[in-house]
Structure 1
Amino acid sequence: MNILILGATGFIGSIVAARLVADGHAVTGLGRSPARARLKQPAINWRQADLSRMTKPEDWDDLLQGQHVVVNCAGALQDGLSDDLAATQADAMLALYSAAKRSRPLIVQISARTAGAAGDLPFLATKRRADEALAASGLPHLILRPALVLGRNAHGGSSLLRALAACPLALPLVHAESPVETLCVDDVADAVSRAVAGDLRGDLVLAADEALTLADLVRLHRQWLGLPPARVISLAPWLTRPVTWLADVAGLLGWRSPLRSTAMTVMSEGISSAKTGNGLAATPAAATLAANPSGVQDLWFARLYLLKAPILVGLSLFWLLSGLIPLLAPVQASTHFLPFMPEAAATALTIITCLVDIALGAAVLVRPLAKRALLGMLAVSLAYLAGGTLLEPALWLDPLGPLVKVLPSLLLTLAALAILDER
């Protein structure tokens, strides 16, 4: 069969795509930035598209041509610079259903549990709107509602679990006793495979038949990482509000932190559902982890995950302050240039370099600009070192170390570039 997968570059979508290719289907993968996916999964026909801009039925006509199945693995947690929930999770899906009425492919929607106290959040409200429209469309469909999905890789909430598990000495948790249901990402892929084969239709919950708390799950991940047991410290929710607020601000700048308010609200009531017998197997968390033994790369990822934000913020502050402080006294700051140019030119050059520093320090905080800002920091730092070495090599021996201090900044910038990618 010809199968179109939305969000095929994501954590769930990439595994579903690989399974359907292994089943012998012709898979077309849709993603906003599929260039790297083409290298990793060359058997898939990759198409670039942004669902938030595909809100009219005619936007789907070309993509749907010849497709027998559409699997929607796309989704976003919260509105921000990189995500528009209403457009991506609701409007685009309604446009898809309208366009699909002509060829009537099977629609498989990877959704979520949309009831409960968190049901009015935009993340779940837009999912529910798309689910209800699909159920009423008359199209052949399957709506899958997986619990927290675990696998060999990690993204979002599963990344946060690994990071919390790697905390030194103790495990600081909010909502430590909240129930959390899980399943293996391969179980999702298996359910989609069965739906394509014609075995499954309707609205189904996917979750392992076990009762875990958040604390239990973090302990399991700590054991999986090969770290000794550590005490769980239960934190009051109000203690995390500053972190959640900062994560929401970061979301407005395009960063997709699992510590945003939507995730915390969902976790406050737990991830559980009233399961009914549906004949679908779901792998318990311990078995999922045991089937994928961790390596040192997993330990590095877990330890670096929560350091990523402080590294980027630290770099931003370093560059902002290095630009702002000289502007308080630009004439005095330009003295190093006076042996080589007139005073007016030295002052102008000082102001220009300060403005460059400020621009780079601000740009690195904006997700779509972060990589270019980091590359700019590397280029400007090397230019500063080269210029200082050629024009005034004595600066290397200056007690305040104006050139020496650039070296750790370079290393921190390289580290930020190394951990910048989210998937």
Structure 2
Amino acid sequence: MNILILGATGFIGSVVAARLVADGHAVTGLGRNPARARLKQPAIDWPQADLSRMTKPEDWENLLKDRHVVVNCAGALQDGLSDDLTATQADAMLALYAAAQRSRRLIVQISARTAGAAGDLPFLATKRRADEALAASGLPYLILRPALVLGRNAHGGSSLIRALAAFPLALPLTHAQSPVETLSVDDVAEAVSQAVAGQLRGDIVLASDEVLTLAELVRLHRQWLGLPTARVVSLAPWLARPVTWFADLAGLLGWRSPLRSTAMTVMSEGIKSAKAQSALAATSAAATLAANPSGVQDLWFARLYLLKPLVIAGLSVFWLLSGLIPLLALEKTSTHFLPFMPEAAATALTLVTCLIDIALGAAVLVRPLAKRALLGMLAVSLAYLAGATMLEPALWLDPLGPLVKVLPSILLTLTALATLDER
């Protein structure tokens, strides 16, 4: 069959795509980074498309041509600079269903449990709107509602669990006793494979029979990482509110943190369904992790995950202060250039360099601009070292180290670049 997968570069979508290719299907994938996806999965066709702009049936006509099945693995947690939930999870899906009516294509929707206290949040409300429209469309369909999905890789909530599991000395958790059901990402791929083969239809919850508390799940991941046991420290929910507030603010700037308010609200009531016994077998958390032994790269990822936002924030503060502090004493700062140029030129050069520092410090906080800002920081740092070495080499011997201090900043910038990718 010829199958279109939405969100094919994501945690779930990439595994589903690989499974369907292995099943012998021709797969076309849509994702956030098709250029890299072409290198990673060359057996898949990767056209360029943006779901948030495909909100009319005619937007889907070319993509749906000769397709037999559409699998929707796309989704986002919360509105922000990089995500529009209404456009991506609702409007685009309704347009897809309308366009698919002509040839009665099978639609497989990877959804979520949309009831409960978090049900009115945009994340679940838009999912529910799309699910209800699909069920009423008359199209052949399967709606899958997986619990917390675990696998060899990690993204979102599963990444956060690994990071918490690697916390030194103790495990600080809010909602530590919240119930959590899990399953393997391979279970989701198996269900999609069965749907494509015509064996599954309807609205199905996917979860293993095992229910763990959040604390038990984090401890299980700590054991998987090969770390010694640590005591769980249960934190009152109000203690996490400042973190959630900053995570939401970061979301407005394009960063997709699993610590945002939507995730915290979902976790407050647990990830558990009131499901009847499913005909589909689902793998327990322990079995999923045992089937995918951890390596040192998993330990590095877990330890760096929560350090990454601190590195970005630290670089931002460093560059903002580097630009703002000299502005408070512009005349004094510009005296460094007086032996080499007129006073007016020295003042202008100092002002320009300060403004560049401030611009880079602000730009690195905006996710779409972060990579260019980090590269700019490297370029400016190297230019600063080269210029200062030529004009005033004695600064290398300054006890306050104005040049030496740039070197760790460069290393921190390289670390930020190395960990910038989200997928």
What is the TM-score when the length of structure 2 is the normalising length?
1.00
Aligned residue runs from structure 1 range 76-225, under 5 A: 76-225=76-225
SS of match in other structure, 1:200: coil
Matched, 1:312 2:284: no
Q: Shift of the alpha carbon at 1:326?
A: 0.4
Instruction: State the alpha-carbon separation in 2 of the partners of residues 230 and 46 from structure 1.
Output: 45
> Counterpart of 2:59?
59
> Counterpart of 1:368?
368
Q: Shift of the alpha carbon at 1:20?
A: 0.0
Instruction: State the alpha-carbon separation in 2 of the partners of residues 381 and 5 from structure 1.
Output: 43
Instruction: State the alpha-carbon separation in 2 of the partners of residues 255 and 348 from structure 1.
Output: 35
Instruction: State the alpha-carbon separation in 2 of the partners of residues 45 and 21 from structure 1.
Output: 11
- In structure 1, what residue type is equivalent to 2:242? P
Instruction: State the alpha-carbon separation in 1 of the partners of residues 206 and 36 from structure 2.
Output: 30
- In structure 2, what residue type is equivalent to 1:140? P
Describe the superposition over 1:146-196 as per-residue Cα deviations: whole angstroms up to 9, x where unpaired.
000000000000000000000011000000000000000000000000000
Instruction: State the alpha-carbon separation in 2 of the partners of residues 32 and 405 from structure 1.
Output: 37
Q: Shift of the alpha carbon at 1:47?
A: 1.4
SS of match in other structure, 1:48: coil
SS of match in other structure, 2:47: strand
Q: Please, what is the CA RMSD of the aligned residues? A: 0.5
**Consecutive aligned runs of 4 or more in structure 1 exceeding 4 Å deviation:** none
Aligned residue runs from structure 1 range 286-297, under 5 A: 286-297=286-297
Q: Is the 8 A contact 1:32 1:48 kept in 2?
A: no
Instruction: State the alpha-carbon separation in 1 of the partners of residues 275 and 182 from structure 2.
Output: 12
Instruction: State the alpha-carbon separation in 2 of the partners of residues 153 and 37 from structure 1.
Output: 16
- In structure 2, what residue type is equivalent to 1:232? V
Q: Shift of the alpha carbon at 1:277?
A: 2.7
Q: Shift of the alpha carbon at 1:398?
A: 1.1
SS of match in other structure, 1:95: helix
Instruction: State the alpha-carbon separation in 2 of the partners of residues 116 and 201 from structure 1.
Output: 24
Matched, 1:263 2:263: yes
SS of match in other structure, 1:46: coil
Q: Shift of the alpha carbon at 1:316?
A: 0.2
Aligned residue runs from structure 1 range 278-293, under 5 A: 278-293=278-293
Describe the superposition over 1:117-143 as per-residue Cα deviations: whole angstroms up to 9, x where unpaired.
110000000000000000000000000
- In structure 1, what residue type is equivalent to 2:286? A
> Counterpart of 1:3?
3
Q: Shift of the alpha carbon at 1:278?
A: 3.0
Q: How many residues align?
A: 423
- In structure 2, what residue type is equivalent to 1:39? L
Instruction: State the alpha-carbon separation in 1 of the partners of residues 39 and 204 from structure 2.
Output: 34
Q: Is the 8 A contact 1:180 1:270 kept in 2?
A: yes
Instruction: State the alpha-carbon separation in 1 of the partners of residues 254 and 422 from structure 2.
Output: 12
Q: Shift of the alpha carbon at 1:46?
A: 0.7
- In structure 2, what residue type is equivalent to 1:377? M
> Counterpart of 1:391?
391
Q: Shift of the alpha carbon at 1:296?
A: 0.3
Q: Shift of the alpha carbon at 1:49?
A: 1.1
SS of match in other structure, 1:45: coil
Instruction: State the alpha-carbon separation in 2 of the partners of residues 275 and 46 from structure 1.
Output: 36
Matched, 1:358 2:358: yes
SS of match in other structure, 1:341: coil
Q: Shift of the alpha carbon at 1:230?
A: 0.4
SS of match in other structure, 1:301: helix
Instruction: State the alpha-carbon separation in 2 of the partners of residues 181 and 78 from structure 1.
Output: 22
SS of match in other structure, 1:204: strand
Instruction: State the alpha-carbon separation in 1 of the partners of residues 32 and 164 from structure 2.
Output: 30
Describe the superposition over 1:41-64 as per-residue Cα deviations: whole angstroms up to 9, x where unpaired.
110001121111000000000000
What is the TM-score when the length of structure 1 is the normalising length?
1.00
Instruction: State the alpha-carbon separation in 1 of the partners of residues 351 and 104 from structure 2.
Output: 63
Q: Is the 8 A contact 1:170 1:230 kept in 2?
A: yes
Instruction: State the alpha-carbon separation in 1 of the partners of residues 15 and 350 from structure 2.
Output: 52
- In structure 2, what residue type is equivalent to 1:408? P
- In structure 2, what residue type is equivalent to 1:390? M
- In structure 1, what residue type is equivalent to 2:359? A
SS of match in other structure, 2:46: strand
Instruction: State the alpha-carbon separation in 2 of the partners of residues 407 and 334 from structure 1.
Output: 23
Instruction: State the alpha-carbon separation in 2 of the partners of residues 336 and 174 from structure 1.
Output: 52
Q: Shift of the alpha carbon at 1:260?
A: 0.1
- Point out where structure 1 has 5 or more consecutive residues left out of the alignment: none
> Counterpart of 1:37?
37
> Counterpart of 2:415?
415
Q: Shift of the alpha carbon at 1:104?
A: 1.3
Describe the superposition over 1:278-304 as per-residue Cα deviations: whole angstroms up to 9, x where unpaired.
310100000000000000000000000
Matched, 1:327 2:347: no
Instruction: State the alpha-carbon separation in 1 of the partners of residues 168 and 212 from structure 2.
Output: 23
Aligned residue runs from structure 1 range 212-251, under 5 A: 212-251=212-251
- In structure 1, what residue type is equivalent to 2:166? A
Q: Shift of the alpha carbon at 1:32?
A: 2.8
